[in-house]
Structure 1
Amino acid sequence: MKDITRKTFLYQLTGLSAAVALSPLIAWKADQQADDEFYQKVVEANTREVAKLLQTFASDITELRRRLGFDLANLAAAFSEPSSPYYRKTELVPVMDKIIRFLVAKQQDDGTLDLGNLASPPDTAFILEPLCTAATILKTADLPALVEVKAQLKQFILKAGEALRTGGIHTPNHRWVVSAALAKINALFPNPGYVRRIDEWLSERVFIDKEGHYLERSMIYSEVIDRCLITMAHLLKRPQLLEPVRRNLQMTYFYLEPNGDLVTNDSRRQDQYMTVNCLPYYLDYRYMAIQDTNPEFATITRYIETVKGFDERTGPDLLAYFLETPLYRKSLPTPKAPSINFEKFFQETNLVRIRRNHTTTTIFGGTDFPFIVASGRSASPNFFAFRKGEAILNYMRLSTSFFNTGYFHSQGITYNQGEYVLHQKIDAPYYQPLPNKYKLATGDYKHSPSTDGRFWNKMDFGHRPQSNIKTIETRIAIRETNGANELRFSAKGAAGVQVTIELCFKAGGQVSGLKKIVDTADNYSIDGESGQYTYGKDTIQFGPGLFTHKKISGLEGEVYSSHFGSLKTEGIHVYLTAVTPFEHTFRIG
């Protein structure tokens, strides 16, 4: 891999102008002055947040929300930090008191809150994290004014602790959320029962595959797990719990886009259809950079500080964590830039990430077979994405009219001599009468799915002979060279099937070389050999076009359309259309 300087790394990683990219380097010095300067910025961010909270809580609290825990922690941090203008200011005490009394009043008899879900131990654990942070910060503040606040906090925490010690969960990450909350409670109010419950959950083992994915493969919940394992490792003195965190954070870097977004195609949770970014990972990378003296994690930590939204979304909550866990205040090791020229094939989930400086390619070949649309399974139809600085192709999809089977979902990826091949074969049968031995006098047959998975009915499909079987076979071969891609499409089998290839570019860009599709908004075909999409200073070129029919809606297929669902997202949409059999070579770069 090509060696690069830290200055070049930051410039290319952020995709920003040189002037903007250089400014964060002030904080890159591995010396106490730089760390003190950053800490002062953390205090200032907390000060601004507390000023807003004083205005917000001048009115009554009307809504139970998880953010109330962070509000209390931020007030406690300002009250306890000597360099804060709010240090030991009594005006903060009534606000802290108002928040904790509201939470105590909303607490169920069993110690839980109706927060998202009814009487939910895991949702209660989520709010306990910042509440325990607040209690830890205030623990040594032996002031008469805080007596009631601390008493109410203790009451709430201990009562909730019993709910977590005995209550259940829904999802894999909830086990570690509950366990981390119990570890925090135990640090405040030691109880062997809390540790026994943690050990009971941990006895199930923290699964992480050889490439660094947790069970849910979610960028949202992987961060939650990392944070929880760090908490348990730190408070329970179990350093072995940091090993999966290291592996997940190493993997997460390869999923990171230059602007801070994270790839989510192979997620099993809701973020497979969302845009999420790396901001929540800040404390995880910072902790592990310091804990392991990891220079590449230090680089990523500093990079996250430059990501859009850091000051507004991350900065306000940092002081509380820095006061609770002094390790966060220690100096980061001298950064060393990880490579920004790589090609990584995640074979566990059939996902390929290719990065050439500020240009990235994502190829997704499907996972969680057979394909089923359900919570807890990856079902994204986005098989290709491309970014060139600020110019972003959010996704490419392919759909056919073949028995309304909808979007192409590759049955894996094969790799051969620089080419990634996606492939799907669908057989759609007609069904013969049931054999006599399966016939029922009532006519009430088993409610089952059709063998091609399109629909369910009381037809006992599995026992029926099949005939008149129709087949479509789709192949997409992708070759990347120095940041440009060539995609070779092929569809054969049943003839006369309409095929639609959909490109969705980030909204707000400018296009040229395209033809507006009549009576539609932001839908285009390619007018000639190539089209262009420009956002800011960056341009993506793509083509040639192909447009032989006008089917550009209802592409989802029967699985979605039977529930009136749509997967079309905001953006500028460009379509290529054809009829089987067809072959077409498309270039984008």
Structure 2
Amino acid sequence: MEIISRKSFLQQCLGIGVAIGLSPLVANAWHTRTDDFYRKLVLANNKDVAKLLKTLAPEITEVRRRSGYELANLAAAFCEPTSAYYQQEELVPYMAKIIRFLVKAQHTDGTLDFGNLASPPDTAFILEPLCAAGTILKANNSASLNEVKSLLKEFIVKAGEALRLGGVHTPNHRWVVSAALAKINALFPNPAYVKRIHEWLSEGVYCDKDGNYLERSMNYSAVIDRSLITIGRLLKMPSLFEPVRKNLGLVYYHAEPNGELVTVDSRRQDQYAPITILYFYHDYYYLAINDSNHEFAAIARYIETLNGFDERVLNDLLVYFLEDPLYKKPLPAPKTPSVNFEKFFAETNLVRIRSNNTTTTIFGGTDFPIIIASGRANSPNFFAFRKGEAILKYMRFSTDFFNTGYFHSQGVTKAGNTYVLHQKIEAPYYQPLPAKFKRADGNYKHSQSTDGRFWNKMDFEHRPQSNINTLETTIRIEEKNGADELTFSSKGTKGVHVVIEFCFKEGGSLTGLKKLDGPAENYTLESGQGEYSYGNDSIKFGPGVFTHTKLTGLEGELYSSHFGSLRTEGMHVFFTGITPFEHTITIG
């Protein structure tokens, strides 16, 4: 029997979803692969250290989170017997240089200035790799390390007081701080550290039934998962692994075939900035071994094949394999998770449909009313579609109805095989205040208009309304054999200009479309079918419609009053119409 390569195996399992039973020979190949992988990460560490010996030659002038990993990678190289730098004294001055600088930069309360000023949580982030370095150096008896170990202890213990007493800004900070305290306690035991951890934990680790943490952020979910695993491991609290398992399940269903994660429902900055599943590698790897989870093992191996793994994950792995012996155990044989699914995440009104390399994302909105602020999901992207490398990053729907801007569905419902998005907006005019609310000085309550568009000193809530205008928009989406049919209906007030905006990944090519005047990548399809191509993949869409050219002010008053824009990079295609508007588009 031929033993298939790891790359071929993953392509079959995760690329096209073929179920493969593992023969004993293949299973043995995976055990052999453990040694090969360890050699690979040692070589990656060697490569990183070779760079560090050059980049650390000048004086260190600023505190960076990366400094913790630089010291940790040097320590790992020094302590790993198979490393080209094993016990090489030339590394010690560079470790000393980093920790001397951090000790000098440390405030009297133990905090550092980076990210935020005198920040306990940001200090906790740098402590993760520094404590890992401290753990592996502790077992090394080389006299040349005495200064480094002494300064590390000075810095870590002082920082421990900052975390024991200091505060946080956001939900994930509680667990970052607690994880750092758990690592400090493992090095330099102190019941006060453990007491503080339990004080934070007593607030409860929230994870909803879909697997979302409070911030619903992929960026910070990776942080929380890693932190909870650290606390659970070091304080012997395996119950903390359960929310991590739920979250990692959700993450997989949010992952595109190329590893990018859907973040449209995030409450943090990643709702507009892409992030990949690379950041969850440690968590899948750890729990795959700890739980004998065969699907998590397959996902970990899949992550290893993604672009950026060597540069963003592998080069920092060695220190964790030396810090925690669990990492050196072989992964269980991988079992392919499904690449054909339809998932409705009711907690965030998000739908994910995947058929091998074709995916659909539908977002029905959440966090109402729409407020532009960190900590609230407010993305107007209601639809996305991918077919291999051809990517429709998002679709948006906007109108000039009283400058209310982008459509934000008021949830998503399913009727048969169709997902339904809906929004109803009422925009009134206001009558004079009743006599009992009038003020002689004219200084009325500063309040928000009842339609939520703006604020003024008009005491809107007490004013009678008249001339009420209404716009009701419904978008029905049904998946049919790998394509999606979207039916738009917008009615109520007549004569409202509507715009359907497509944003395709930059760098592709469009066929059958008309370039609009101006330097921007703006196109339209007046009728018939259009096609977007990228590499060997393509997306067909249409029929087009273009009845007006009013394409400005799409964001609406909430954004434009702050001179903001939600336009992103990409190739933008616009369909337009006027209410009452009915149109059906097929994308596939």
TM-score (norm 2): 0.96
Measure the CA separation in 1 of the matches of 2:136 and 2:7.
37
Instruction: Determine helix, strand or coil for the equivalent of 2:313.
Output: helix
CA distance 1:185–1:7, shift in 2 (3 Å): closer
Identity of aligned residues (%): 68
Measure the CA separation in 2 of the matches of 1:266 and 1:540.
25
Measure the CA separation in 2 of the matches of 1:30 and 1:225.
33
Deviation per residue, 1:153-212 (Å, 9 max, x gap)? 000000000010010000000000000000000000000000000000000000000110
Structure 2 equivalent of residue 193 of structure 1: 192
* Equivalence map 1:339-358=2 (5 Å): 339-358=338-357
The answer on whether the counterparts of 1:266 and 1:367 sit within 8 Å (CA) in structure 2 is yes
Deviation per residue, 1:333-389 (Å, 9 max, x gap)? 010001111000001100000000100000000011122111101000000000000
CA shift, 1:12, in A, is 6.4
CA distance 1:392–1:408, shift in 2 (3 Å): same
Structure 2 equivalent of residue 244 of structure 1: 243
CA shift, 1:446, in A, is 1.1
CA distance 1:250–1:441, shift in 2 (3 Å): same
Within the alignment, does 1:572 sit opposite 2:571 as a pair?
Answer: yes
Within the alignment, does 1:510 sit opposite 2:482 as a pair?
Answer: no
Instruction: Determine helix, strand or coil for the equivalent of 1:425.
Output: strand
Structure 2 equivalent of residue 371 of structure 1: 370
Instruction: Determine helix, strand or coil for the equivalent of 2:476.
Output: strand
AA in 2 matched with 1:246: R
Measure the CA separation in 1 of the matches of 2:7 and 2:153.
48
Instruction: Determine helix, strand or coil for the equivalent of 1:423.
Output: strand
Structure 2 equivalent of residue 166 of structure 1: 165
Instruction: Determine helix, strand or coil for the equivalent of 1:396.
Output: strand
Measure the CA separation in 1 of the matches of 2:134 and 2:26.
31
AA in 2 matched with 1:153: L
CA shift, 1:520, in A, is 4.1
Measure the CA separation in 2 of the matches of 1:324 and 1:202.
24
Measure the CA separation in 2 of the matches of 1:457 and 1:92.
64
CA shift, 1:32, in A, is 3.4
Deviation per residue, 1:224-249 (Å, 9 max, x gap)? 00000000011001100000001100
Instruction: Determine helix, strand or coil for the equivalent of 1:276.
Output: coil
Measure the CA separation in 2 of the matches of 1:28 and 1:374.
50
* Equivalence map 1:109-508=2 (5 Å): 109-508=108-507
Instruction: Determine helix, strand or coil for the equivalent of 1:231.
Output: helix
Q: Which moved more, 1:290-299 or 1:6-15?
A: 6-15
Deviation per residue, 1:506-540 (Å, 9 max, x gap)? 00111101111122421111143110111111010
Measure the CA separation in 1 of the matches of 2:260 and 2:43.
26
Measure the CA separation in 2 of the matches of 1:316 and 1:552.
47
Instruction: Determine helix, strand or coil for the equivalent of 2:475.
Output: strand
Structure 1 equivalent of residue 547 of structure 2: 548
CA distance 1:527–1:440, shift in 2 (3 Å): closer
Instruction: Determine helix, strand or coil for the equivalent of 1:424.
Output: strand
CA distance 1:243–1:212, shift in 2 (3 Å): same
The answer on whether the counterparts of 2:7 and 2:305 sit within 8 Å (CA) in structure 1 is no
Structure 1 equivalent of residue 85 of structure 2: 86
Measure the CA separation in 2 of the matches of 1:47 and 1:353.
41
Deviation per residue, 1:269-308 (Å, 9 max, x gap)? 0000011101110000000100000010000000000010
Over the aligned positions, Cα root-mean-square deviation in angstroms equals 1.6
Measure the CA separation in 1 of the matches of 2:133 and 2:477.
52
Measure the CA separation in 1 of the matches of 2:445 and 2:193.
48
Q: Provide runs of 4+ in structure 1 moved above 6 Å.
A: 5-9
Instruction: Determine helix, strand or coil for the equivalent of 1:275.
Output: coil
Structure 2 equivalent of residue 32 of structure 1: 31
Structure 1: gaps of 5 or more residues = 19-25
Structure 2: gaps of 5 or more residues = 19-24
The answer on whether the counterparts of 2:14 and 2:337 sit within 8 Å (CA) in structure 1 is no
CA distance 1:405–1:9, shift in 2 (3 Å): farther
The answer on whether the counterparts of 1:164 and 1:182 sit within 8 Å (CA) in structure 2 is yes
The answer on whether the counterparts of 2:498 and 2:576 sit within 8 Å (CA) in structure 1 is yes
Deviation per residue, 1:100-138 (Å, 9 max, x gap)? 000001001100001111110000000011110110110
The answer on whether the counterparts of 1:548 and 1:579 sit within 8 Å (CA) in structure 2 is yes
